[in-house]
Amino acid sequence: MTNNGKPFVLVVEDDMPVRNLITTTLESQKYKYETAVNGNQAVMAAASGNPDIILMDLGLPDMDGIDVIQKIRTWSVAPIIVISARSDDQDKVDALDAGADDYLTKPFSVEELLARVRSTLRRLQYLMKTETSNVSVFHNGELTIDYGAGTVAVDGHEIHLMPLEYSLLCLLAQNVGKVLTYQFILDKVWVNALESDMSSLRVYMASLRKKIEKDTAHPKYIQTHIGVGYRMIKVEDSTPSGQE
């Protein structure tokens, strides 16, 4: 964070009008920022500047944004918000699998961009609150969450979760056995939930399942209640579980 309490943002965007829109928006909120116009610049800027948040376009001139995300994720856990014209769910899944935390589709409004940044910051605050307020370790079958260390393991093997995935998992674990509605989850994790976040929730939940479930076709831990929400199952429960 900068000395005014605002995050330092790295903007990775080669399209000048879009880049100017983003930086002008950040300036209006007194955010400090740095820009990069290609993948190599982005990697160097992320390494040297240690940004709090990264806004990342996928269609870069020298390499695909997915590759840039993967490179940055080898050393940084800074939240990455993808801003892309690619709107297919598979594109979102690929970005999340690479390590992105959120996905904003072009064209976008200034209000939505700022809402995404604020929501990302609030998720980080929720994550830190969760880690500091829970000193115990959660066990459910082979799934273990060490709140103090902020780590997750399945069958003794630590798995890497992005901040939003970790927040979702902690929320479900803290309410194990209870069905949490889509809106409840959005309100708790997204904070300022937008209508478009409903589809994003499904994508993130699918990504989380890939990491913690041995068989995503028959989930052991996270059950979908179609049209209602999600529930973390106690492993001793024998209720058949669904999937998205």
CA dihedral 69→36→58→161, nearest 10 degrees, is: 20
pLDDT of residue 236: 67
The rounded mean pLDDT for the chain is 84
Alpha-carbon gap, residue 87 to 187, rounded angstroms: 24
Alpha-carbon gap, residue 244 to 224, rounded angstroms: 7
Least confident residue range of 67-71, 112-116, 148-152, 174-178: 148-152
Mean pLDDT of the region 165-178: 89
Is the CATH code 1.10.10.60 the one for domain 126-232? no
Any idea which residue has 């929720």 for tokens?
Answer: 126
128: pLDDT confidence band, cut at 50, 70 and 90? low
Q: Cβ–Cβ contacts within 10 Å for residue 31, how many?
A: 20
Alpha-carbon gap, residue 233 to 137, rounded angstroms: 17
pLDDT one-digit tens code per residue, 14-58: 999 999 999 999 999 999 999 999 999 999 999 888 888 999 999
Nearest to 173 by CA among 193, 143, 129, 206: 143
Q: What are phi and psi of 105, to 5 degrees?
A: -95, 135
Least confident residue range of 1-5, 93-97, 172-176: 1-5
Domain ranges, ordered by start, for the chain? 8-108, 126-232
pLDDT of residue 52: 86
- H-assigned helices in the chain: 16-28, 39-49, 65-72, 89-98, 110-133, 163-173, 182-185, 197-212
Q: Cβ–Cβ contacts within 10 Å for residue 15, how many?
A: 15
130: pLDDT confidence band, cut at 50, 70 and 90? low
Please say whether the beta carbons of 69 and 99 come within 8 A.
yes
**pLDDT(131) > 80:** no
Helix%, strand%, coil% for the chain, nearest 5: 40, 20, 35
Alpha-carbon gap, residue 241 to 235, rounded angstroms: 11
Residue that wins the pLDDT comparison between 169 and 92 = 169
Share of the chain above pLDDT 70, in %: 87
136: pLDDT confidence band, cut at 50, 70 and 90? confident
Give the single-character DSSP code of 156: T
pLDDT of residue 154: 93
Nearest to 201 by CA among 220, 178, 222, 177: 222
pLDDT of residue 129: 58
Q: Cβ–Cβ contacts within 10 Å for residue 54, how many?
A: 25
pLDDT one-digit tens code per residue, 69-127: 999 988 787 889 999 988 888 888 888 888 888 888 898 999 989 988 887 877 766 66
Q: Which residues on adjacent β-strands are paired with residue 83? A: 104
pLDDT of residue 195: 57
The CATH number of the structural domain formed by 8-108 is 3.40.50.2300
pLDDT of residue 132: 46
241: pLDDT confidence band, cut at 50, 70 and 90? very low
Maximum C-alpha span of the chain:
55
**pLDDT(238) > 50:** no
Q: What does each C-alpha distance from 137 to 126, 156, 179 come to in angstroms?
A: 18, 13, 22
